[in-house]
Amino acid sequence: MKHLTTLTAALAGALLLAACGDSAEKQGEEMDSAIEETLTGEENKDDALLENTGEAIDEVTGNENTDPIDAAGDAIEEATEDAPE
């Protein structure tokens, strides 16, 4: 049941991100930060579920993340994603 609740929340978040006019990744990052601050009292700067979902939506829709820091972080992630450990 817990997994169903998590999946439902993720789907609702993805639909909200897709409806945004701006970068869905940026909106996802803001939503993740708000959730993390509410639950833990601190903000985790690592990519989380909604930010990653937003990034995927941006790729599918052709939207670009205009935040240079996030764009640089994404480029680093992509470059190191397939690198051998």
- Within-domain flag for 81: no
Task: Between 66 and 17, name the one with better pLDDT.
Answer: 66
Q: How far is CA 5 from CA 11, 12, 23, in A?
A: 10, 11, 26
pLDDT tens string 5-49: 766 666 666 566 555 567 888 888 888 888 888 888 887 777 788
Distance (Å, whole) CA 23 – CA 83 = 27
Q: Summarize the confidence of residues 62-75 as an average pLDDT.
A: 77
- Within-domain flag for 74: no
- Within-domain flag for 43: yes
Q: How many domains does the chain have?
A: 1
Residue 33: give the domain boundaries: 2-63
